[in-house]
Amino acid sequence: MGNPVVSILIPCFNAHRTLEETLQVCLKQTWKNCEIIVADNGSSDLSREIVAAHLGRVRLVNCAKLGAAAARNAAFAHSRGEFVKYLDADDLISANCVESQIARLADGTNAIASGEWGRFYQDEPKNWRPAPETVRNDLASLEWILRAFKGAQPMMQCGTFLLPRRVIDSVGGWNEELSLIDDFEFFTRSFLAVDEIRFAAGARLMYRSGVASTLSAQRSRRHAVSALESARLATSYVLARDDSRRAKDACADIWQSLAFDFLPDHPDVAEIAAAESKGLGGSSISFPGGRVPKFLAGLFGWRIARTFQSLIHRTGYRAMMLRRKRPNETAT
Protein backbone atom coordinates (compact mmCIF):
# COMPACT_ATOMS: atom_id res chain seq x y z
CA MET A 1 0.00 0.00 0.00
CA GLY A 2 3.03 2.28 0.32
CA ASN A 3 2.59 5.57 2.13
CA PRO A 4 -0.90 6.80 1.20
CA VAL A 5 -2.13 10.31 1.87
CA VAL A 6 -4.88 10.55 4.49
CA SER A 7 -7.19 13.54 4.26
CA ILE A 8 -8.54 14.80 7.60
CA LEU A 9 -11.56 16.94 6.73
CA ILE A 10 -12.95 19.33 9.34
CA PRO A 11 -16.17 21.33 8.88
CA CYS A 12 -16.09 24.48 10.97
CA PHE A 13 -18.63 27.06 12.06
CA ASN A 14 -17.72 29.46 14.86
CA ALA A 15 -15.51 26.87 16.53
CA HIS A 16 -12.61 29.07 17.58
CA ARG A 17 -12.86 27.91 21.22
CA THR A 18 -12.05 24.29 20.33
CA LEU A 19 -10.54 24.41 16.84
CA GLU A 20 -6.90 24.94 17.88
CA GLU A 21 -6.97 21.86 20.10
CA THR A 22 -8.52 19.80 17.30
CA LEU A 23 -5.90 20.98 14.80
CA GLN A 24 -3.09 20.16 17.22
CA VAL A 25 -4.13 16.51 17.57
CA CYS A 26 -4.28 16.27 13.77
CA LEU A 27 -0.86 17.86 13.32
CA LYS A 28 0.63 15.47 15.89
CA GLN A 29 -0.59 12.26 14.25
CA THR A 30 2.04 9.52 14.13
CA TRP A 31 0.98 8.91 10.51
CA LYS A 32 2.81 11.84 8.95
CA ASN A 33 1.38 11.73 5.45
CA CYS A 34 -1.81 13.60 6.36
CA GLU A 35 -3.37 16.60 4.70
CA ILE A 36 -5.66 18.65 6.96
CA ILE A 37 -8.43 20.69 5.39
CA VAL A 38 -10.78 22.98 7.30
CA ALA A 39 -13.96 23.92 5.45
CA ASP A 40 -15.20 27.12 7.04
CA ASN A 41 -18.95 27.36 6.91
CA GLY A 42 -19.31 31.14 7.20
CA SER A 43 -17.80 31.66 10.66
CA SER A 44 -18.03 35.12 12.21
CA ASP A 45 -15.54 34.41 15.01
CA LEU A 46 -11.77 33.85 14.93
CA SER A 47 -11.89 30.38 13.34
CA ARG A 48 -10.31 31.46 10.05
CA GLU A 49 -7.54 33.30 11.90
CA ILE A 50 -6.74 30.11 13.82
CA VAL A 51 -6.41 28.18 10.56
CA ALA A 52 -4.34 31.01 9.04
CA ALA A 53 -1.76 30.54 11.81
CA HIS A 54 -1.15 27.03 10.47
CA LEU A 55 -1.23 27.69 6.71
CA GLY A 56 1.25 25.45 4.97
CA ARG A 57 0.30 22.60 7.27
CA VAL A 58 -3.48 23.18 7.21
CA ARG A 59 -5.55 24.26 4.22
CA LEU A 60 -8.61 26.51 4.45
CA VAL A 61 -11.62 26.16 2.18
CA ASN A 62 -14.22 28.90 2.42
CA CYS A 63 -17.77 27.84 1.66
CA ALA A 64 -21.20 29.38 2.00
CA LYS A 65 -23.14 28.85 5.20
CA LEU A 66 -24.97 25.75 3.98
CA GLY A 67 -24.42 23.38 6.89
CA ALA A 68 -21.92 20.78 8.06
CA ALA A 69 -22.75 18.26 5.33
CA ALA A 70 -22.05 20.82 2.60
CA ALA A 71 -18.81 21.82 4.31
CA ARG A 72 -17.67 18.18 4.43
CA ASN A 73 -18.45 17.79 0.75
CA ALA A 74 -16.54 20.98 -0.08
CA ALA A 75 -13.51 19.76 1.88
CA PHE A 76 -13.66 16.38 0.12
CA ALA A 77 -13.76 18.09 -3.30
CA HIS A 78 -10.48 19.85 -2.44
CA SER A 79 -8.78 16.76 -1.00
CA ARG A 80 -6.50 14.19 -2.61
CA GLY A 81 -6.12 11.50 0.05
CA GLU A 82 -6.49 7.82 -0.72
CA PHE A 83 -8.15 7.57 2.70
CA VAL A 84 -10.48 10.05 4.37
CA LYS A 85 -11.30 10.86 7.99
CA TYR A 86 -14.06 13.36 8.75
CA LEU A 87 -13.57 15.06 12.10
CA ASP A 88 -15.70 17.67 13.84
CA ALA A 89 -14.04 20.89 14.96
CA ASP A 90 -14.68 20.25 18.66
CA ASP A 91 -13.58 16.61 18.87
CA LEU A 92 -10.17 15.01 19.44
CA ILE A 93 -8.44 11.84 18.26
CA SER A 94 -5.55 9.89 19.74
CA ALA A 95 -2.10 10.52 18.26
CA ASN A 96 -1.96 7.02 16.74
CA CYS A 97 -5.53 7.05 15.45
CA VAL A 98 -4.82 7.34 11.73
CA GLU A 99 -1.80 5.02 11.83
CA SER A 100 -3.73 2.32 13.69
CA GLN A 101 -6.63 2.48 11.25
CA ILE A 102 -4.39 2.50 8.18
CA ALA A 103 -2.76 -0.68 9.48
CA ARG A 104 -6.16 -2.42 9.53
CA LEU A 105 -6.74 -1.55 5.87
CA ALA A 106 -3.20 -2.26 4.65
CA ASP A 107 -4.13 -5.42 2.74
CA GLY A 108 -6.44 -3.50 0.41
CA THR A 109 -9.58 -5.26 1.59
CA ASN A 110 -12.99 -3.77 0.82
CA ALA A 111 -13.44 -2.41 4.33
CA ILE A 112 -13.81 0.65 6.54
CA ALA A 113 -11.77 1.00 9.74
CA SER A 114 -13.52 1.78 13.01
CA GLY A 115 -12.08 2.59 16.42
CA GLU A 116 -12.85 3.27 20.04
CA TRP A 117 -14.92 6.23 21.10
CA GLY A 118 -15.89 7.83 24.35
CA ARG A 119 -17.10 11.12 25.76
CA PHE A 120 -15.48 13.89 27.67
CA TYR A 121 -17.29 16.93 28.97
CA GLN A 122 -16.51 20.53 28.11
CA ASP A 123 -12.74 21.03 28.29
CA GLU A 124 -11.56 17.98 30.21
CA PRO A 125 -10.26 15.36 27.71
CA LYS A 126 -8.29 13.75 30.55
CA ASN A 127 -11.66 12.56 31.85
CA TRP A 128 -12.38 10.68 28.61
CA ARG A 129 -13.81 7.25 29.18
CA PRO A 130 -14.50 4.59 26.52
CA ALA A 131 -18.18 3.99 25.86
CA PRO A 132 -19.53 0.42 26.07
CA GLU A 133 -20.32 -1.03 22.66
CA THR A 134 -21.11 -4.37 21.01
CA VAL A 135 -19.15 -3.63 17.82
CA ARG A 136 -15.55 -3.45 18.99
CA ASN A 137 -14.30 -6.25 16.79
CA ASP A 138 -14.10 -7.09 13.09
CA LEU A 139 -17.55 -7.68 11.65
CA ALA A 140 -19.25 -8.07 8.30
CA SER A 141 -20.74 -4.68 7.51
CA LEU A 142 -24.40 -5.70 7.79
CA GLU A 143 -23.69 -7.52 11.06
CA TRP A 144 -22.02 -4.37 12.42
CA ILE A 145 -25.09 -2.30 11.54
CA LEU A 146 -27.60 -4.72 13.07
CA ARG A 147 -25.64 -5.00 16.30
CA ALA A 148 -25.24 -1.23 16.52
CA PHE A 149 -28.92 -0.53 15.73
CA LYS A 150 -30.20 -3.03 18.27
CA GLY A 151 -30.97 -1.20 21.48
CA ALA A 152 -30.87 2.10 19.53
CA GLN A 153 -27.36 3.01 20.61
CA PRO A 154 -25.44 3.32 17.33
CA MET A 155 -22.54 5.75 17.51
CA MET A 156 -21.73 6.71 13.95
CA GLN A 157 -19.93 9.94 14.76
CA CYS A 158 -17.67 10.71 11.84
CA GLY A 159 -14.32 10.87 13.64
CA THR A 160 -14.60 7.20 14.61
CA PHE A 161 -13.97 5.92 11.08
CA LEU A 162 -11.39 5.91 8.28
CA LEU A 163 -12.82 5.43 4.79
CA PRO A 164 -11.11 4.54 1.53
CA ARG A 165 -11.72 7.33 -0.95
CA ARG A 166 -13.19 4.92 -3.48
CA VAL A 167 -16.04 4.15 -1.06
CA ILE A 168 -17.06 7.80 -0.93
CA ASP A 169 -16.74 8.07 -4.69
CA SER A 170 -19.04 5.07 -5.10
CA VAL A 171 -21.81 6.07 -2.65
CA GLY A 172 -21.67 9.84 -3.09
CA GLY A 173 -21.04 12.48 -0.47
CA TRP A 174 -23.02 13.68 2.51
CA ASN A 175 -26.71 14.41 2.06
CA GLU A 176 -26.87 18.20 2.24
CA GLU A 177 -30.61 18.18 2.93
CA LEU A 178 -29.92 16.70 6.37
CA SER A 179 -28.64 18.36 9.53
CA LEU A 180 -29.30 16.38 12.72
CA ILE A 181 -27.91 12.78 12.61
CA ASP A 182 -26.74 13.19 9.01
CA ASP A 183 -23.84 10.90 10.00
CA PHE A 184 -26.35 8.10 10.66
CA GLU A 185 -27.53 8.15 7.04
CA PHE A 186 -24.07 8.67 5.52
CA PHE A 187 -22.33 5.87 7.39
CA THR A 188 -25.16 3.37 7.00
CA ARG A 189 -24.97 4.00 3.25
CA SER A 190 -21.17 3.75 3.25
CA PHE A 191 -21.01 0.60 5.40
CA LEU A 192 -23.36 -1.24 3.08
CA ALA A 193 -20.94 -0.54 0.21
CA VAL A 194 -18.11 -2.53 1.84
CA ASP A 195 -17.69 -6.12 2.98
CA GLU A 196 -16.35 -5.51 6.46
CA ILE A 197 -15.84 -3.04 9.30
CA ARG A 198 -12.42 -3.59 10.86
CA PHE A 199 -11.80 -2.51 14.42
CA ALA A 200 -8.55 -0.68 15.26
CA ALA A 201 -7.85 -1.01 18.98
CA GLY A 202 -6.39 2.16 20.45
CA ALA A 203 -7.64 4.41 17.65
CA ARG A 204 -9.67 6.74 19.82
CA LEU A 205 -12.25 9.39 19.11
CA MET A 206 -12.71 11.70 22.10
CA TYR A 207 -16.19 13.12 21.65
CA ARG A 208 -16.83 16.45 23.35
CA SER A 209 -20.19 16.55 25.13
CA GLY A 210 -21.97 19.20 27.15
CA VAL A 211 -21.56 22.04 24.63
CA ALA A 212 -24.98 23.59 24.12
CA SER A 213 -24.14 25.06 20.70
CA THR A 214 -23.20 21.77 19.06
CA LEU A 215 -25.49 20.42 16.38
CA SER A 216 -26.27 17.27 18.33
CA ALA A 217 -27.69 19.45 21.12
CA GLN A 218 -30.17 21.18 18.82
CA ARG A 219 -33.85 20.35 18.98
CA SER A 220 -35.47 22.78 16.53
CA ARG A 221 -38.25 21.53 14.30
CA ARG A 222 -35.93 21.57 11.28
CA HIS A 223 -33.51 19.32 13.10
CA ALA A 224 -36.32 16.99 14.21
CA VAL A 225 -37.51 16.63 10.61
CA SER A 226 -33.92 15.98 9.53
CA ALA A 227 -33.61 13.19 12.10
CA LEU A 228 -36.80 11.59 10.76
CA GLU A 229 -35.54 11.71 7.19
CA SER A 230 -32.11 10.39 8.13
CA ALA A 231 -33.72 7.48 9.97
CA ARG A 232 -36.11 6.82 7.09
CA LEU A 233 -33.26 6.64 4.60
CA ALA A 234 -30.88 4.62 6.77
CA THR A 235 -33.46 2.03 7.80
CA SER A 236 -34.67 1.70 4.22
CA TYR A 237 -31.10 0.91 3.07
CA VAL A 238 -30.83 -1.82 5.70
CA LEU A 239 -34.24 -3.36 5.04
CA ALA A 240 -33.61 -3.37 1.30
CA ARG A 241 -30.57 -5.56 2.01
CA ASP A 242 -32.11 -7.68 4.78
CA ASP A 243 -35.82 -7.82 5.65
CA SER A 244 -35.41 -10.48 8.33
CA ARG A 245 -37.15 -10.29 11.69
CA ARG A 246 -33.83 -9.37 13.28
CA ALA A 247 -33.32 -6.43 10.91
CA LYS A 248 -36.85 -5.18 11.47
CA ASP A 249 -36.41 -5.37 15.24
CA ALA A 250 -33.16 -3.38 15.05
CA CYS A 251 -34.75 -0.69 12.88
CA ALA A 252 -37.81 -0.56 15.15
CA ASP A 253 -35.48 0.24 18.05
CA ILE A 254 -34.05 3.21 16.14
CA TRP A 255 -37.52 4.58 15.48
CA GLN A 256 -38.68 4.13 19.08
CA SER A 257 -35.59 5.93 20.36
CA LEU A 258 -36.44 8.91 18.14
CA ALA A 259 -39.99 8.86 19.51
CA PHE A 260 -38.56 9.16 23.03
CA ASP A 261 -36.19 11.94 21.97
CA PHE A 262 -38.70 14.27 20.36
CA LEU A 263 -41.47 14.18 22.93
CA PRO A 264 -42.68 16.61 24.22
CA ASP A 265 -40.97 19.22 21.98
CA HIS A 266 -42.31 17.85 18.71
CA PRO A 267 -45.20 15.48 19.47
CA ASP A 268 -46.15 14.98 15.81
CA VAL A 269 -42.59 13.94 14.97
CA ALA A 270 -42.56 11.61 17.97
CA GLU A 271 -45.82 10.01 16.83
CA ILE A 272 -44.50 9.47 13.31
CA ALA A 273 -41.44 7.73 14.75
CA ALA A 274 -43.57 5.64 17.11
CA ALA A 275 -45.81 4.59 14.20
CA GLU A 276 -42.76 3.54 12.15
CA SER A 277 -41.55 1.43 15.06
CA LYS A 278 -44.95 -0.18 15.48
CA GLY A 279 -45.18 -0.89 11.76
CA LEU A 280 -41.99 -2.92 12.00
CA GLY A 281 -43.39 -4.98 14.84
CA GLY A 282 -42.64 -2.66 17.75
CA SER A 283 -39.64 -2.18 19.98
CA SER A 284 -38.66 -3.68 23.30
CA ILE A 285 -36.11 -1.03 24.29
CA SER A 286 -36.64 0.21 27.80
CA PHE A 287 -37.69 3.73 28.60
CA PRO A 288 -34.59 5.86 29.27
CA GLY A 289 -34.06 7.31 32.72
CA GLY A 290 -34.04 6.38 36.35
CA ARG A 291 -36.41 4.41 38.52
CA VAL A 292 -39.14 7.04 38.77
CA PRO A 293 -39.50 7.67 35.00
CA LYS A 294 -39.43 3.93 34.35
CA PHE A 295 -42.10 3.39 37.01
CA LEU A 296 -44.30 6.10 35.45
CA ALA A 297 -43.78 4.61 32.00
CA GLY A 298 -44.95 1.24 33.27
CA LEU A 299 -47.95 2.79 35.02
CA PHE A 300 -49.10 5.48 32.58
CA GLY A 301 -47.21 4.79 29.33
CA TRP A 302 -44.04 6.25 27.89
CA ARG A 303 -45.68 9.42 26.53
CA ILE A 304 -46.74 10.68 29.96
CA ALA A 305 -43.48 9.55 31.52
CA ARG A 306 -41.44 11.36 28.86
CA THR A 307 -43.40 14.59 29.34
CA PHE A 308 -42.90 14.40 33.10
CA GLN A 309 -39.21 13.61 32.67
CA SER A 310 -38.69 16.58 30.35
CA LEU A 311 -40.49 18.94 32.73
CA ILE A 312 -38.30 17.85 35.65
CA HIS A 313 -35.10 18.24 33.64
CA ARG A 314 -36.03 21.71 32.45
CA THR A 315 -37.12 22.86 35.90
CA GLY A 316 -33.85 21.62 37.35
CA TYR A 317 -31.85 23.34 34.61
CA ARG A 318 -33.65 26.66 35.13
CA ALA A 319 -33.05 26.45 38.89
CA MET A 320 -29.36 25.79 38.31
CA MET A 321 -29.05 28.80 36.00
CA LEU A 322 -30.85 31.04 38.50
CA ARG A 323 -28.43 29.98 41.23
CA ARG A 324 -25.51 30.83 38.97
CA LYS A 325 -26.89 34.30 38.28
CA ARG A 326 -27.34 35.20 41.93
CA PRO A 327 -24.59 37.34 43.48
CA ASN A 328 -22.34 35.63 45.96
CA GLU A 329 -23.94 35.45 49.35
CA THR A 330 -22.15 35.36 52.68
CA ALA A 331 -23.26 32.60 55.00
CA THR A 332 -24.77 33.82 58.27
pLDDT at residue 212 in the model: 53
pLDDT at residue 211 in the model: 62
Q: Average pLDDT by consecutive 10-residue portion of the chain (332 residues)? A: 94 96 98 98 96 97 91 98 98 98 96 95 80 92 96 89 98 96 97 98 92 58 95 98 98 96 94 98 92 88 88 62 42 31
pLDDT at residue 53 in the model: 97
- In tens, the pLDDT along 239-256 reads 999 999 999 999 999 999
pTM above 0.95, yes or no: no
Rg (CA), the chain: 21
pLDDT at residue 309 in the model: 84
Cα separation, 84 vs 199, in Å, equals: 16
- In tens, the pLDDT along 125-144 reads 878 888 888 899 999 999 99
Residues in the chain: 332
pLDDT at residue 316 in the model: 58
Cα separation, 263 vs 183, in Å, equals: 22
pLDDT at residue 290 in the model: 85
What is the per-residue DSSP string for 226-292?
HHHHHHHHHHHHHHHH--SHHHHHHHHHHHHHHHHHTTTT-HHHHHHHHHHHHHTT---PPPSS-HH
